Amino acid sequence: MYNYVTNKQLISGMRSCCGDIMQDLCHTLKEEYDIGATFTLVGSGARNLILQNANEPIDLDYNLKIIRIDDYEDCPYIKECVRKAFNIVLRKHGWRDCEDSKSSLTTEKRYFPRISDTEFSMDVCIVCEDEDGNLYRLIHKKTGYTNVNSIAYAASIYPRLVPRRADNEYYWNMAPNSRDIKFKVDYIKRNGKWELVREQYKSIKNRYLTQNDHNHPSFICYIEAVNNVYNSIKGWK
């Protein structure tokens, strides 16, 4: 089950190490690809939301928000630029290349020998925001077909069995109930109820864990927790 990490020296070390990498990533994206981006550790604006499942490695979940680019609709280009820039930065810091998953870029696991034997890694989710304040995650749905020539040849022989589309699918997926999430966070803080978000966040993460549900990353759990608390406060008033 998930519990909050209490080792302050470990938390400080992870945030410092990974924060430096994310700052370099934003700088590299701007210099190499003219893409403007900012980053946040999920829940970092509120602090103290880093969870660990028993003695398993800790996943630090970052949102990389794209704030300036010529074409927001060119999802394959955005994902590839971020992946390449991330690998440049990771190598600079002595890390191996990242892995490209459906909704994030994941690093290898590291640990601080002098602080703790607890391993940690980074999951970077690429996001953007529309004019109404809704947040979207960039999804890379892998079809498993990568050799275009082989697919074309196979399709010419077995047209009914081979899909016409050879490339992988990339698209922006709106995070449910994500509208005005920053406004809601600020509202909760002003009312001194942030501890309720911490309770909700931990409860939601553990609920999905017991259900063996891996389709709700920390970002989505965080939004759900904030909305639950915000709606309850509004109901009280």
The whole-model pTM stands at 0.85
The structure tokens 């709700």 sit at 216
* Domain residue limits, the chain: 2-178
**H/E/C letters for each residue in 91-111?**
HHCCCCCCEECCCCEECCCEC
Residue spans of alpha helices (H) in the chain: 8-33, 75-92, 148-157, 181-190, 194-210, 218-236
Q: What was the pLDDT predicted at 60?
A: 94
Other beta carbons less than 10 A from residue 79's beta carbon: 18
- Provide CB contacts within 8 A for 146, sequence distance 6+: 168
Per-residue CA distances from 136 to 132, 139, 209, 219 (Å):
12, 9, 24, 11
**CATH code for 2-178?**
3.30.460
Q: What was the pLDDT predicted at 46?
A: 58
Task: Please provide residue 84's backbone torsions phi and psi, each rounded to the nearest 5 degrees.
Answer: -65, -45
Other beta carbons less than 10 A from residue 60's beta carbon: 22
Q: What was the pLDDT predicted at 235?
A: 76
Per-residue CA distances from 121 to 21, 57, 107 (Å):
12, 7, 6
Quote the CA–CA distance of 43 and 185 in Å, as a whole number.
Answer: 10
Can you read off the two tokens belonging to residue 235?
Answer: 């109901």
Burial class (CB in 10 A: 0-12, 13-18, 19+), 97: middle
Q: What was the pLDDT predicted at 143?
A: 72
Can you read off the two tokens belonging to residue 111?
Answer: 């640990």
Per-residue CA distances from 178 to 45, 50, 136, 226 (Å):
16, 20, 9, 9
Per-residue pLDDT tens listing for the chain (237 residues): 999 999 999 999 999 999 999 999 999 999 999 999 999 998 765 567 899 999 999 999 999 999 999 999 999 999 999 999 999 999 999 999 999 988 999 999 999 999 999 999 999 999 999 998 899 999 998 776 544 444 444 445 444 444 444 458 999 999 999 999 989 999 999 999 999 999 999 999 999 999 999 888 899 999 999 999 999 998 775
SS3 49: coil
Q: What was the pLDDT predicted at 159?
A: 46
